[in-house]
Structure 1
Amino acid sequence: MPKSTRKRSSGRARSTARGAIETITRPNQSWPVKLLLTVWRWRWELYVLAAIAYIVIAHGSAITGYFQSNPLWLNALLIVVLCGWIVTDNPARRFAMNRIWCVTTRHRLRACLIEMRVLNYSGNLPFILGCFATKTGQVVWLWMRPGQSVEDLDNKAESLASACWASKATIARSKRNAAIVRIDIDRRDPLAKTIDSPLLEDTSGVPEAAVADDAVMAFLTPDNTDSVPDEFTTERPAKTGTGETRTRTSKTKTTAAVNDSQTVILGANGEDVSDYV
């Protein structure tokens, strides 16, 4: 094979291989910046480890001596009471569960942003300002870096909800600052359970037919015309040319009953205007 042919073919192969490789640049950060970001990201885990280390070092011997001095049944009772206090609903348990879910949501959200390639050209992810507990789940605040906006998260709400093990995710931008993005992670629906209203007890004994009737329309359009006063249907007698007196009926008819169950309202020309009332 000629030498020139080999060069052209190898050049095409290199261009094809280069097009199949995704290049992602990483920001050139110093070690102090990386250390601070790592501490910020894992701050709650570091708090827990520091608390456990302090308890073991400072009070480990006292706790061990206390359990050794007590009988076995008392130690078992203390453990059962402690486990029951952790399981039951109390402020300390709610705080701990909220913190655990907030930390989990923050880590899962960051992993999802990496997999979805929500990066700028420098390779920076949106900065997670904080994650806070709500009545339906958690809310995460993001600070979009230069080159990023809320448009980078369009049509990605389902991916975020799946990554955070939630039922729904809602993405919204701040009205004052476009760089601040709010992500609501909904894990539960507070209205899913049946709500007992005291107002339902007042209508429990009323028949369904009475509840289905429209009381307002029944008052405005009575079924019979006997209850309508005479001044609304007739006018005072008028004299004719021959001296006879006849009663002149008004052109406007108020109501007309049909089948004794449906009320129809007629206009001046006899047109049915029930749908417009």
Structure 2
Amino acid sequence: MPRNPRNQIYPANEDLPAPGRGGLPARLWRIRTELILLSALALLTLTLHGATQEGRWWPYVLLTSAVSVPVATRTGRNWVVAHFWCVVSRHRLQRVCLETTMHTRAGRIPLVLWITPTTTGEKALIMTRAGICAEEFEAYSEEIAAACWARSVNVYRHRRRAQFVIVEIVRRDEVPGAASPGLDRLYGRRAWVSVRPDLEEPPDLPRKVALAQAG
């Protein structure tokens, strides 16, 4: 038996279209990072080619400095690794939606609007499609964790706009300084509520803890 009825929302005998369909803007949005990197690489290649044709070598010096400085520092390496995992997790999240029933009857999957590093992994801001909700992501939390090669997954929904979901991917113990300001600062912790009531902290919990310690 399935762990949750949401794990199988479509009848087994229903003939659905192949998932992953969508308009061109949605498909381009899913690979936006790769498109930006390819565009930057193409622009860099054209610039270097033009410079070598004119006998100028300073672009190579600038390029070497721009690459070697981040690689030579721990902060730079951590930044590169953290954002690499963001790209990996975004694609793995999309793959879970394709391989499970987290897509519409027309085959459209939720949009990963933004994904950012955290001290324990990544957080993804997702806009669901009609017929999909945060509880469905919670039902597939184990599949998401396995697909992202992570330890666990926490799911939160927006208090006032239920179409927005945060999927928190926990892949390691907390690493200080590994995160960017990210989702917490932009949207605020109080705007989100855990889908699992046992994980939700009351908004006034820090104040209560401070009063208890003071007493």
Q: Which TM-score band applies after superposition, normalised by the shorter structure?
A: 0.5 to 0.7
Q: Is the alpha carbon distance of 1:56 and 1:177 closer, same or farther for their aligned partners in structure 2, counting shifts above 3 Å?
A: same
TM-score by length of 2: 0.62
Q: CA deviation at 1:124?
A: 2.2
Partner amino acid, structure 2, of 1:174: H
Say whether residues 1:147 and 2:139 are aligned partners: no
Q: What residue identity is the alignment partner of 1:89?
A: R
Instruction: Provide closer, same or farther for how the CA distance between residues 60 and 156 of structure 1 changes in structure 2, counting only shifts above 3 A.
Output: same
Identity %: 30
Q: Where is the helix percentage greater, Structure 1 or Structure 2?
A: 2
CA drift of 1:132 comes to 1.3
Kept in 2, the 8 Å contact 1:26–1:124? The answer is no
Question: How many angstroms does 1:26 deviate by?
Answer: 5.9
Structure 1: any 5+ residue segments left out of the alignment? 1-18, 68-74, 192-277
CA distance in 1, matches of 2:162, 2:12: 34
Aligned residues: 162
- For structure 2, which runs of at least 5 residues remain unmatched after alignment? 1-10, 176-215
Distance 2:165 2:67 in 1: 41
- Equivalent position SS for 1:130: strand
| CA distance in 2: counterparts of 1:145 and 1:154, whole angstroms | 16
Kindly report structure 1 stretches of 4+ aligned residues shifted beyond 6 Å.
Answer: 78-81
Pick one of 69, 85, 88 that aligns with 2:73.
88
What are the superposed Cα offsets for residues 253-275 of structure 1, whole Å, 9 maximum, x if unpaired? xxxxxxxxxxxxxxxxxxxxxxx
2:129 partner SS: coil
Hey, what does 1:98 align to over in structure 2?
82
The Cα of 1:25 is off from its aligned counterpart by 2.9
Aligned residue identity for 2:73: T
SS at match of 1:152: helix
Q: CA deviation at 1:102?
A: 1.2
CA shift in 2, pair 1:126/1:81, >3 Å: closer
- Higher Cα radius of gyration: 1
Q: Which residue does 1:119 correspond to in 2?
A: 103
Cα distance in 1 for residues equivalent to 2:12 and 2:97: 22
User: What is the deviation of 1:142?
Assistant: 1.6
Structure 1: distance between partners of 2:14 and 2:28: 30
Give the equivalent residue in structure 2 for 1:239.
Answer: none
Q: Are 2:142 and 1:158 equivalent residues in the alignment?
A: yes
The answer to which structure, 1 or 2, has the higher relative contact order (CA under 8 A, 6+ apart) is: 2
